[in-house]
Structure formats: structure tokens, C-alpha cells
Amino acid sequence: MDGVREFLDDIQKRGHAKGHLLGLLNILIGRRIARSDGTVISQGVTWRELAAELKRSRFDADTVKELGIDPATLPPRDRQRFWYTAISQAQVGSPEAMTAGNKLANILTKAGYVIGPAPRSASS
């Protein structure tokens, strides 16, 4: 999970996460992420693992507004539960999420990452 944490920190510092939360969730949960040198960062994570990483990285809670979710409706005291609930409401496997993931993947490719295709994109 250190690779996921470093990935989250890096894309936050570069500003790539802003405005791309749905795509980021789609990529982290369902796609392979590697560095351009071939080093694998992640083969995909569970919602619970991702919620824990978003909590640890102190990801801005207000970004859930990008998903149409009011942060005040999510558990305020338990950040891991906050993120888990947000992920569950985000519909990360929807066609919209896959499109958002593809858009962010193109941006991240320029930043030195190799993002695998969406799971259903091979048959689409």
C-alpha cells in the first residue's frame, strides 16, 4: 500500500487529483498502475483499502462535492468511514466513471505513469 500512498501524494502535489475524483477512484479500484519504468504501484485496491489510504493521505474531504455528494451527509468523525461511504455512492464502475478514469489516465501518462485499461473496456 506504500505505492498507492506515494501515488496519491504525488498526484495531489502535481494538482492532477483536483477535478478528477471519480476518475481517480475508478483507476485506483479497478486498474493496474505502474511507473513508466515498469514498477507496479497497484493492481487495484478494495474500497476499504482505498478509504484507509485517502484517510492517511488526508485527502481533502470537500472533493466529494465533485461527485455530487454533500460532505455534511457523510460520517463526520470517522474519516475512513467517510471515504468508504463516498466511494460506495460514487458508482465507480459506471460508464461515466470509466470515461473519467480514461481522461485521468491520459493526464497521468504524461506524468510518468502507466495506467491499465478499464476492466470492461476490452469488450466494449
Residue 81, pLDDT above cutoff 50? yes
Mapping DSSP onto H, E and C, the string for the chain reads CHHHHHHHHHHHHHCCCCCCHHHHHHHHHHCCEEECCCCEEECCCCHHHHHHHHHHCCCCHHHHHHHCCCHHHCCCCCHHHHHHHHHHHCCCCCHHHHHHHHHHHHHHHHCCEEECCCCCCCCC
Query: What does the alpha-carbon distance between residue 24 and residue 10 come to, in Å, rounded to a whole number?
Result: 13
pLDDT, one tens digit per residue, over 46-60 is 999 999 999 999 999
Q: Please, are residues 72 and 57 in contact by the beta-carbon 8 Å criterion?
A: no
- Residue-wise pLDDT for 66-77, tens only, equals 999 999 999 988
What are the domain boundaries of the chain? 2-115
Model-wide pTM > 0.85: yes
The reported pLDDT for the residue numbered 122 is 45
Q: Which residues contact 123 (CB under 8 A, 6 or more apart)?
A: none
| Predicted pLDDT at 120 | 64
> What distance in Å separates the CA atoms of residue 19 and residue 122, rounded to the nearest whole number?
26
